[in-house]
Structure 1
Amino acid sequence: MAPTRLTSKSVGVNENLNGIMSRGITTRSKQLATLKTYKDSLKAPNKRKADSPVKDTTAKRAAFGDITNAFNKACVNTDKDKAMVAKKVTVESKMLPILKNIKPQTTTLNGKASKTKQLQKAATNAIETVQKHFAKDPPKQIATRAQNGILKNMIRRSMGKENQSTASSNSAKSARSDVSGEPSLYTTALENISPNEATKEGYKVISEKLDKVNLDDSHRSLDEQTNCKLPDGVVDFDKENWNDPLQVSRYAMDIFNYLKSREPHFLIDDYLQRMKGISSWMRALLVDWMVEVQESFELNHETLYLAVKLVDLYLTKSSRTQPEKDHLNKEELQLLGASALFIAAKFDERIPPLVDDFLYICDGAYSLSQLLKMEISILRIIDFDLGIPLSYRFLRRFARCARVSMPTLTLARFVLEQCLLEYGLLGLPDSKMAAAALYIALRMKSLGGWTPTLRYYTGYTLKEILPVVLAQNATLHKKPKSAISTVRNKYSHTIFFEVAKIPLVEDSVLSDVS
């Protein structure tokens, strides 16, 4: 990774604050410049510590507003709070006659009778009493919630100690809605029942509803889950990895079909004919430089592909909408590439490089304000849509389904990355580019042709991808140029199995479908 440039003198606290106010951003490199080492920053005596919250048993802290069942009467000052207290008292006064009619079970236990049966009988009697009362004088929403609370209390008593904690948590959630006067944010299953279902027969219906709400489909057979018949000769990769959560086999096919459906939204046309001062050779130089930055910063390959796509999309859309005088010139082309890499790194990397790093790799040709202004311009032009289908993602999926070895996959990656420099291939769909690169790699290593498995998972026949295959092979046969040799040098290394040194094949070999 390229080293980060620091200021020649240490930046004081006041100067750092002034920089924040003037530029609106402070990088980590500038912050680290104020300290000798990172350990000193951890041991700094002026480091702020989180204050312990004030202990209050009545007023608890909530993450999303006051949804706790704790109530502090001393804090009631506003009219809204007083209305809430009155509402709570009204509910309690309405329920007092009902509670008085519920007589406690005082009979002693005899030989065969058990305490559980008595509690169940008491709960049944309470439910019938409540039902009769609400059938004569059905209250509104408040009484309905209170009724559910009584039913849940009766159920909790009959459940025993084992499930008592679960029922009490449900009652607490219902109590939150009574205090606030709003429907509870955490609706339980029992709060959805109707008064007609609050009977002994109704609880059977409730249990059946709860049984249906089961997100774990492991009890179902694999054939029932997949429920599809594959063509003859197709190896079901998703079925074999169904229980592997990292493969996401339940959704992988739908995910990549969705990505293919989004490809028409990111089409790139011949934008250079609308622009003056920029040629295909200059674009190739820019992409070659971006590959070198990706290798120096050790970025993901997805970051590189997304950045190149952002460059082409920006030039395509900006050349359509902006006047010719406002088009990008050749002096700003490297700024566009650096800003695209900056955006892609923040989107795809776990720890993206600092903004100072991108200014440094441009050799001080641009200022911080220029880089941030270009970043904003790119995001506005693409309408902040960074979920772009990338050929590299399709390639990994196709190679995994075909069980291709790592050297063969690396060879296909070399073919695909070399084609990033070719301006004439920009208008082709990314999924078709990935399929063609994989087919060339299989042919170059004499590993067979286009199998039914690849035809099924890619969605393309060999006849459909053959024109793209020939165009990519022509790119590989071009005479290497020293000015744009980063990709070949990169894949000539032993880490990448020296796939760039593998002999190329002729078009006749690729066109042979036998």
Structure 2
Amino acid sequence: NIMETLRKLFANLTNAVVHGGNVVDDDGPKNAVVFDPTHTIETEIKNIKISQKIDYLQKQQPSSSSSPKNNDNEKCKNRYINWQDYYQSPKNLPDDVIDYDRTQLKNINSEPIYAFEIFEYLREKEQSTRCQKYMQHQIEISPKMRAMLVDWMVKVQQNFEFTHEVFYHAIKIIDHFLMNKTIKRNRLQLLGIVSIYIAAKCDKGIYNTIIKDFIFICNNAYTCDDIIKMEIEILQVLEFNLNYPLSYSFLDRYAHCSSQTLETLTLSRYILESSLMDYSFVDELDSKMAAASLLLAIRMKHLQWNKTLDFYTGYNEEDLIELAGRLNRLIKTNTEQESIRIKYSKSVFFAVANIKPLDDI
């Protein structure tokens, strides 16, 4: 029984979240190996969705015979059907554009059946969750202070080995909170650390740290009670709406669909991540920021934008040229906040920060 299975899995998930996925003893926090029910739930839901889609598509097919006996035989044949056979290409896919998701049918982790629809949905959702400029309402903080916070959070993300999705998600939480509520200067760092804590919890329910670790990296400026209260405040202000489309996800999708090299993708990520520190980009659409970052990287690598990118991004070069120019000027500018530049100067990131920006895009 699927519902009974999910009920048991949810009970396990609740238990894991309550205990924070960690064990604490007198010597301090130690990461414990815990059951990851979230991943199991995702797998169950994925299987349910695939089964439902197969059932739907089977109903659309004309029956070869109305004979009950033949129908029973047909059901037996379809019992172990290959779900890959039911993939449908995007309706408006041009003839000269590769059907990327069809090439990924053996890679279920890329969600090939649903990927195109998922990103169409995210393009719609980013309109309703679009962040607006908010500094005009903030009394004690400034764009420079926000940049300093983001710069510090880059180091937190690296030290705790959080995924880039966690980092981008945390910035979204911060901006949406500040869009809805003013904050005092001495609580800005608290907002940052709790936002990354929430984002880490949302990342498949996995987070490798506990509150004591955050208190330590904040030099004991805040207490456990401060962090818990801020977490509650953030969730209340945002009305528990934490599912934001992320530019990082769009960028990965665009780069893979257009078969970019890992070095070009990494250069795009450097450009995109640099924009997170600049308040002037806070109200731009995530899909457009991702596409503009990729366009700039492509030009810096002396490559060409093409029809495949037109189709999968939904933008052409004319749509992106102004934004790409702003990004080019951004990475040419020396700033006091160097964490992102230093990070992407390392060989593991192909030292893409050392690639010279364009003189004129």
TM above 0.5: yes
CA distance in 1, matches of 2:202, 2:350: 29
CA deviations 1:226-285 (Å, max 9, x no partner) are 374632431221122223222221111001111111102222222110110111000000
CA distance in 1, matches of 2:161, 2:200: 11
Alpha carbons of structure 1 residues 215 and 282: separation in structure 2 relative to 1, 3 Å? farther
Write the letter of the residue equivalent to 2:140.
G
CA distance in 2, matches of 1:330, 1:264: 30
CA distance in 2, matches of 1:249, 1:221: 11
SS of 2:208's equivalent? coil
Q: Partner of 2:203 in structure 1?
A: 348
Q: Retained in 1: the 8 A contact 2:89–2:99?
A: no
Counterpart selection for 1:372 from 219, 228, 231: 228
The answer to whether residue 167 in structure 2 is matched with residue 304 in structure 1 is yes
Counterpart selection for 2:315 from 454, 457, 460: 460
Q: Which has the higher contact order (CA 8 A, sep 6+)?
A: 2
CA distance in 1, matches of 2:208, 2:254: 28
CA deviations 1:50-106 (Å, max 9, x no partner) are xxxxxxxxxxxxxxxxxxxxxxxxxxxxxxxxxxxxxxxxxxxxxxxxxxxxxxxxx
CA distance in 1, matches of 2:104, 2:71: 36
Counterpart selection for 2:351 from 498, 501, 511: 498
The TM-score with structure 2 as length reference comes to 0.79
Counterpart selection for 2:332 from 477, 480, 486: 477
The answer to whether residue 274 in structure 2 is matched with residue 418 in structure 1 is yes
Q: Retained in 2: the 8 A contact 1:27–1:355?
A: no
Alpha carbons of structure 1 residues 478 and 209: separation in structure 2 relative to 1, 3 Å? same
Q: How does 1:395-410 map to 2 (within 5 A)?
A: 395-410=251-266
CA distance in 1, matches of 2:302, 2:333: 22
Structure of higher CA gyration radius: 1
Alpha carbons of structure 1 residues 27 and 351: separation in structure 2 relative to 1, 3 Å? closer
Q: Partner of 1:363 in structure 2?
A: 219
How far did residue 289 of structure 1 move? 0.5
The answer to whether residue 26 in structure 2 is matched with residue 33 in structure 1 is yes
CA distance in 1, matches of 2:237, 2:156: 24
Q: Partner of 2:142 in structure 1?
A: 279
Write the letter of the residue equivalent to 2:113.
R
Q: Partner of 1:233 in structure 2?
A: 96
How far did residue 503 of structure 1 move? 0.6
Q: How does 1:3-402 map to 2 (within 5 A)?
A: 31-33=24-26, 203-204=68-69, 207=72, 210=75, 216-218=81-83, 220=85, 225-226=88-89, 228=91, 230-318=93-181, 327-348=182-203, 350-402=206-258
CA deviations 1:120-179 (Å, max 9, x no partner) are xxxxxxxxxxxxxxxxxxxxxxxxxxxxxxxxxxxxxxxxxxxxxxxxxxxxxxxxxxxx
Q: Partner of 1:440 in structure 2?
A: 296
SS of 1:306's equivalent? helix
CA distance in 2, matches of 1:206, 1:285: 67
SS of 1:504's equivalent? coil
Alpha carbons of structure 1 residues 240 and 211: separation in structure 2 relative to 1, 3 Å? same
Q: Retained in 2: the 8 A contact 1:27–1:356?
A: no
CA distance in 1, matches of 2:282, 2:25: 42
SS of 1:246's equivalent? helix
CA deviations 1:339-387 (Å, max 9, x no partner) are 0011011111634311111111111001111111111111111121222
CA distance in 1, matches of 2:244, 2:84: 37
CA distance in 2, matches of 1:205, 1:232: 39
CA distance in 1, matches of 2:273, 2:340: 7
The TM-score with structure 1 as length reference comes to 0.56
Write the letter of the residue equivalent to 1:390.
L
Alpha carbons of structure 1 residues 207 and 355: separation in structure 2 relative to 1, 3 Å? same
CA distance in 1, matches of 2:31, 2:267: 42
CA deviations 1:182-233 (Å, max 9, x no partner) are xxxxxxxxxxxxxxxxxxx9844863884697683558486xx437463243
CA distance in 2, matches of 1:394, 1:208: 44
CA distance in 1, matches of 2:31, 2:331: 48
The answer to whether residue 344 in structure 2 is matched with residue 488 in structure 1 is no
Alpha carbons of structure 1 residues 496 and 274: separation in structure 2 relative to 1, 3 Å? same
Alpha carbons of structure 1 residues 205 and 26: separation in structure 2 relative to 1, 3 Å? closer
CA distance in 1, matches of 2:90, 2:159: 47
Write the letter of the residue equivalent to 2:24.
Q
Alpha carbons of structure 1 residues 371 and 492: separation in structure 2 relative to 1, 3 Å? same
Q: Retained in 2: the 8 A contact 1:32–1:38?
A: no
SS of 1:31's equivalent? strand
Alpha carbons of structure 1 residues 217 and 419: separation in structure 2 relative to 1, 3 Å? same
Runs of 4+ displaced beyond 4 Å: 25-30, 208-215, 217-222
How far did residue 296 of structure 1 move? 0.9
CA distance in 2, matches of 1:209, 1:504: 61
Alpha carbons of structure 1 residues 28 and 444: separation in structure 2 relative to 1, 3 Å? closer
| Identity of matched residues, % | 37
